[in-house]
Structure formats: C-alpha cells, structure tokens
Amino acid sequence: MIKRVNSTGRRRIGSDRVTIVVHEEQDPRTFDATIDLKDFEAPQDAAVVLEATCAGSNTIRRYSWGTVGQLLPPEDRTLRDLHGKNVFFSLKVIDRSERFGRILGLAENIRPSKAGPKTATGRRGILPVEEADLGDELWKLEFRSEDVFLLVNRRIQGLSGRVSWDASIYSLIYPAIIREILQRALDEQTDDEEDSDRWPVLWLKFARRLHPEGLEPPESEDVSEREEWISEVVSAFCREHSLREKFIQAAGVAEASEDMP
C-alpha cells in the first residue's frame, strides 16, 4: 500500500476556526465568513486567503482576507461561476516575508454551516451527488483532495435523485463505483492522523466494516491480493443491500433458473 505522508511542514488550522454562511437571495450566491486566528502563531503581516470551489467545476475563486494581524473581508464575496450544490472552502495563511508565498497554515474542506436549498451544508455522507455538464456520459466520479463526488448528467431531469432511490439504476452502478473508489483509496491512504477526515480514510473504514471477515486492507501492492479484498467488500455490499432482488423487482424482469446453461 502506498501511503502519503504530509512533509510540507505547514501547520493545520482547524476547520472549526472558520464559519461560512452562504446567501442565496441573489444570483450569483454570496457568502460571509467568520475567521478566528487569535492564537495562531504566524507573522502579523502574513496574508490570509479564502478559496472557494465546488464539485463538478475546475473554477477556484480566491478572496484576500487581510492579514493575521488585521482580518479584512473583501467587498466582493460572490461565488461567481460556482454553480454546484457542494461548495467548499480552504483557508490559507501565506508568508509575505522570509519565504514569500510559502503556506504557513492551512484549513481544507470547510463546508458552509448555513445556507439555502441550493447549497449543501456540512458533510453529506462519503459520496455526495452533484449535477454537472457531462456531455453524453450519464455519470462519473470526481476525485478531489477533500472528497470524492458522484457526478450525474444535469441534462437528464431527475437523474440525481434516481441514483439514490431507483434500484434499476443504483443496483447497476454502485458496485462499479465502490470498486473504483477503493482502488484509488488504497493508493492514496495517508499515515497522517490529521487526515482522518479525508475521503480515502473514510472509505477504507467503510470497507473494513463491510468486509465479511472484517479484514484490514492488504499492506502489499500485489494487484491480485488487492482485487480479491475489494471484490469481497463489493460482494458484501451487494448482499447487504439485496441488489439482485431489488433490481429484479424494480426493472420488472424475471430471474433466470439456477440450472440454466
């Protein structure tokens, strides 16, 4: 297993030091932020920056928020060009003296604590669903440092809801989704205890609970060993949720006899 170690030397800033409220009264949405850096050890002139992005988009909006010694929110706090429901923020404290541009402190994956119906608040499970422009694709996975998202085609009305409740859809796609995510999670797991809320750690915990014998992920990088462990987890998921039976009922198809060739 390849384990990622944080060796940058930057200090983590607790996400509880930042409170985000998104306002939806106008388009584009706007937001307010309360930032607490009272006892954070950094030069008083270090720059404070908030960055916002959303699932299904490569756009990153950057907001200068003054300095550690004098926090000053910008006038423009619009979430322009960020249309997804799952919006998240990063807080950066940036050196402007000894090593200009070095990140001294970082808080990631900050979710709005309060918003309207167009914006998700808090963490929404380990696989948030987001509508996106996917062309002719129906769905795809988007892996970010903060989370992994299930993107569904926004041009198909109601699809984002049906992937959660329609057994004729979720029975077909979720086993493949779990396989892909676990393969990636094994490559990106970290030894850093402060990364305990990152998606690879959360997904591997989920997989260990599902495994029929509760086995830990394989330590080796042997492909067959990893694939066997993942297959056992996926099979357990299918059994636990009775996917075969639910698909037969939802799709209105007949179950083939076991003695058929």
Return all residues near 143 (Cβ < 8 A) that are at least 6 apart. 184, 199
Partnered with residue 139 across adjacent β-strands are: 152
Predicted local confidence at residue 258, as pLDDT: 64
Angle in degrees, CA 124, 231, 213, rounded to 5: 85
Q: Across-strand partners of 114?
A: 21
pLDDT at residue number 25: 93
**Whole-angstrom distance, CA of residue 61 vs CA of residue 52:** 5
Q: Are 86 and 130 in contact (CB under 8 A)?
A: yes
Among candidate residues 225, 253, 191, 236, the one with its CA nearest the CA of residue 7: 191
Alpha carbon separation from 113 to 15, 16, 21, 242 (Å, rounded): 11, 10, 6, 35
**Token pair 């929404």 in the structure block, residue:** 124
Kindly give the confidence (pLDDT) of every residue in the chain, 261 residues in length, as a single tens digit, with 9 standing for 90 and above: 333 334 445 688 988 899 999 999 999 999 999 999 998 999 999 999 999 999 888 899 999 999 999 999 999 999 999 999 999 999 999 998 766 678 999 998 899 999 999 999 987 688 999 999 999 999 999 998 778 999 999 999 999 999 999 999 999 999 999 999 999 999 887 665 556 778 898 999 999 999 999 999 988 888 999 999 999 999 999 999 999 999 999 999 888 766 655
**pLDDT score, position 20:** 97
Backbone angles phi, psi at 203, to 5 degrees: -70, -35
Contact 165, 250 (CB under 8 A): no
Report how far residue 207's alpha carbon sits from residue 181's, in angstroms, rounded to the nearest whole number. 10
pLDDT at 39: 87
Q: Is 165 helix (H, G, I), strand (E, B) or coil?
A: helix
The greatest distance separating any two alpha carbons of the chain, rounded to the nearest whole angstrom, comes to 76
- Specify the residue for token string 């599902």: 210
Give me the pLDDT at residue 8, please.
47
Residues 20, 112: contact at Cβ < 8 Å?
yes
What integer pLDDT is reported at residue 1 of this predicted model?
A: 36
